[in-house]
Amino acid sequence: MADEEFSKPTYKCGTYENPKSFVNWLGLPGISDVLWWKFFSSKAPLPGKQELETELPITKPNFDEVDEVKGLSATWLGHATVVVRMNCVNFITDPVFSARASPVSFSGPSRYRPPPCQPGDLPKIHFAVISHNHYDHLDENAVKEIHENNREMTWYVPKGLEVWMRGKLPQNANICEFTWGETTEFKHGDETFKICCTPAQHWSTRNLFDRNKSLWCGWAVIGPHHKFFYTGDTGFCDKEFEILGRKYGPFDLMAIPIGCYLPRNFMKSQHIDPEEAVEIHKLVKAKHSMGIHWGTYDMGSTEKYNEPPEDFKAAAKKANLSEKEIFTIGHGETWQYEQQ
pLDDT at 88: 92
3-state secondary structure at position 22: coil
> What is the rounded average pLDDT of the residues 269-287?
99
pLDDT, one tens digit per residue, over 289-315 is 999 999 999 999 999 999 999 999 999
Q: What percentage of residues in the chain have a pLDDT greater than 90?
A: 89
Q: Report strand pairing: 183-188 vs 15-17.
A: unpaired
Determine the average pLDDT of the residues in 240-255.
98
pLDDT above 90: residue 150: yes
What's the confidence (pLDDT) of residue 2? 57
- The per-residue pLDDT of the chain, averaged, comes to 96
The amino acid present at 98, given as its one-letter code, is S
**Domains of the chain, earliest start first:** 74-336 (3.60.15.10)
Distance CA 155, CA 282 (A): 29
Of 72, 69, 67, the closest CA to residue 226 belongs to: 72
The H helix count followed by the E strand count for the chain is 9, 16
- Cβ atoms of residues 153 and 126 within 8 Å: yes
Chain Cα centroid distance, residue 146: 17
Contact indicator for 256, 308 with CB cutoff of 8 Å: no
Alpha helices in the chain (DSSP H): 31-39, 49-55, 63-67, 140-149, 162-168, 238-248, 264-267, 274-283, 307-318
Helix, coil or strand: residue 307: helix
- The pTM (predicted TM-score) of the whole model is 0.96
Exposure letters 222-238 (e unless 16+ CB within 10 A, then b): bbeebbbbbbbbbbbbb
- Is a pLDDT exceeding 60 seen at residue 205? yes
DSSP 122-188: S----EEE----STTT--HHHHHHHHHH-TT-EEEEETT-HHHHHHHS-TT-EEEEE-TT-EEEEEE
Q: What is the pLDDT of residues 9-45, one digit of tens each?
A: 999 999 999 999 999 999 988 877 777 766 667 788 8
The pLDDT assigned to 35 comes to 73
Asked whether the predicted pLDDT for residue 256 surpasses 70, the reply is: yes
Could you tell me which of 277, 241, 237 has the C-alpha nearest to residue 257? Answer: 277
pLDDT, residue 52, reads 98
Cβ partners under 8 Å of residue 241, min gap 6: 280, 283, 284
Identify the helix (H) or strand (E) that includes residue 219.
strand 218-222
Q: Which of 230, 227, 255 is nearest to 329 (CA)?
A: 255
Percent of the chain with pLDDT over 70: 97
Q: What is the pLDDT of residue 4?
A: 86
Residue 199: asked if its preceding bond is cis (omega within 30°), the reply is: no
Angle (CA) 305 270 46, round 5°: 15
Mean pLDDT value across residues 325-330: 99
For the chain, how big is the Rg over CA atoms in Å? 19
pLDDT score of 154 more than 90: yes
Mean of pLDDT values over 253-261: 99
- The CA-CA-CA angle for residues 95, 97, 98, to 5°, reads 125
